[in-house]
């Protein structure tokens, strides 16, 4: 627990709820029963509105055959959404005191993401990032005010850390103006430079004093957003299938896509939540790598939904792309999701080469499914489901073997 936290916590470690305005001091990392708050859940749901808008525009780009530009725009917009979400999540895990001012500032951040969502279509269609930048600025400046509040209540290294966060965010926000002011050809380079700058801010800010984020709370927050994004994927695919059936009466062509998509999403959920991850988050170094890596988890999970919509539109003749391109719109993000979840989660809990190879081999097989024509999505779904079954079987055998070994040792 960082300095000063005892001033704002009760005996249980949770912040006192007696006054509408309280000092924004650090919470304890060892708090019991730390769970996501209703405000955080509302925050996530509003952020998914922006994620859904990015997915819709990615569908349009892919369906029109502009995959390269569409993926680049998607990566840029999704980074703004994800980074603002992530920064708030880790801040809230360390400093949420749930007073009136904290709630108001969080609602301002929600307003910012809605402004950003309103500008997504312009960013994709006209390469106009003004609204996206404005929405991002609202979210980031609101977080700066929270860090300044925390700095006011802190002392020593903790105060320095909070001021570094506030200053770093402000400098980066100025740098993002390059997306608005510079010619279109230079924007990808601005994006790369600013992404690196943003990623360095937490590392620099916390080099002398880490925040007291709560491992269980962080794991739950990431898991909840994963569930919401996967739910949005199913919703988007369902709407696409319904529209296609209503307008084209093409149920036979769509059933393999719908079944395969459902198997992919179910498998994605199972693979992510097969083991609790909070026990692995023991240090800032582990947490930074794990937290940053979720950009690919969230972006690929949302892109699976966009890919399913493209596959549906191609099946009924609405998308101007080949069958292979439409299949790749599903299989490639699915493979990326599998390999990223393996790298961040699964490999830490797998025992033996066989268990370690399940997800990497599955990702490779899913990519190979791209070449199976109209059955590509269904095949990718079946491969993903078989990976889940293989993982369960191998884990069960390992557990049974360990239990037998313990019984033998006890008997001896």
Give the domain ranges of the chain. Answer: 36-212, 216-411
Per-residue pLDDT tens over the stretch 273-295: 887 777 777 766 778 888 899 99
Per-residue pLDDT tens over the stretch 197-217: 999 999 999 998 999 888 889
> In whole angstroms, how large is the CA radius of gyration of the chain?
23
Reported CATH class of domain 216-411: mainly alpha
The yes-or-no verdict on residue 333 having pLDDT over 90 is yes
d(CA 374, CA 299): 25
Q: Please name every residue paired with 9 in a beta bridge, in sequence order, or none if there are none.
A: 15
* Total residues belonging to the chain: 412
Tell me the three state secondary structure of residue 15: strand
Q: Which of 203, 200, 195, 164 has its CA nearest to residue 178?
A: 195
The yes-or-no verdict on residue 184 having pLDDT over 90 is no
Looking at residue 58, its pLDDT comes to 93
Kindly state the percentage of the chain with pLDDT values over 90.
58
Q: Which of 272, 262, 263, 330 has its CA nearest to residue 302?
A: 330
The yes-or-no verdict on residue 5 having pLDDT over 70 is no
pTM of the model: 0.87
Per-residue pLDDT tens over the stretch 255-277: 899 999 999 999 999 999 887 77
């Amino acid at each position: 627990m960082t300095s000063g936290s005892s001033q704002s916590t009760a005996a249980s470690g949770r912040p006192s709820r007696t006054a509408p305005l309280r000092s924004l001091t650090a919470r304890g990392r060892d708090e019991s029963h730390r769970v996501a708050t209703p405000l955080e859940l509302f925050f996530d749901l509003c952020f998914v509105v922006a994620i859904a808008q990015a997915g819709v525009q990615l569908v349009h780009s892919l369906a029109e055959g502009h995959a390269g530009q569409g993926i680049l725009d998607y990566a840029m917009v999704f980074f703004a959404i994800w980074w603002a979400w992530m920064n708030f999540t880790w801040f809230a895990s360390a400093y949420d005191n749930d007073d009136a001012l904290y709630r108001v500032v969080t609602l301002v951040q929600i307003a910012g993401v809605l402004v950003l969502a309103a500008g997504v279509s312009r960013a994709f269609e006209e390469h106009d990032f003004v609204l996206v930048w404005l929405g991002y600025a609202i979210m980031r400046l609101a977080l700066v005010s929270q860090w300044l509040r925390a700095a006011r209540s802190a002392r020593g290294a903790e105060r320095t850390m909070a001021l570094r966060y506030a200053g770093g965010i402000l400098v980066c926000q100025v740098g993002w103006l390059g997306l608005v002011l510079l010619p279109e050809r230079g924007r990808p380079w601005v994006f790369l430079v600013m992404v690196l700058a943003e990623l360095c801010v937490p590392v620099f800010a916390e080099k002398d004093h880490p925040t007291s984020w709560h491992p269980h709370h962080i794991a739950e927050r990431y898991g909840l957003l994963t569930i919401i994004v996967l739910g949005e994927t199913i919703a988007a695919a369902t709407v696409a299938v319904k529209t296609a059936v209503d307008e084209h009466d093409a149920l036979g062509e769509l059933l393999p896509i719908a079944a395969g998509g459902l198997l992919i999403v179910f498998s994605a959920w199972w693979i992510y939540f097969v083991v609790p991850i909070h026990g692995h988050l023991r240090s800032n170094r582990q947490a930074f790598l794990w937290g940053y890596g979720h950009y690919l988890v969230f972006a690929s999970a949302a892109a699976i939904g966009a890919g399913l919509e493209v596959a549906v539109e191609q099946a009924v003749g609405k998308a101007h792309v080949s069958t292979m391109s439409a299949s790749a719109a599903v299989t490639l993000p699915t493979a990326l999701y599998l390999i990223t979840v393996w790298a961040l989660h699964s490999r830490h809990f797998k025992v033996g080469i066989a268990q370690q190879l399940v997800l990497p081999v599955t990702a490779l097989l899913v990519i190979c499914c791209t070449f199976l024509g109209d059955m590509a999505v269904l095949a990718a779904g079946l491969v993903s489901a078989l990976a889940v079954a293989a993982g369960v079987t191998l884990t069960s055998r390992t557990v049974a073997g360990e239990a037998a070994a313990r019984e033998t040792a006890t008997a001896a």
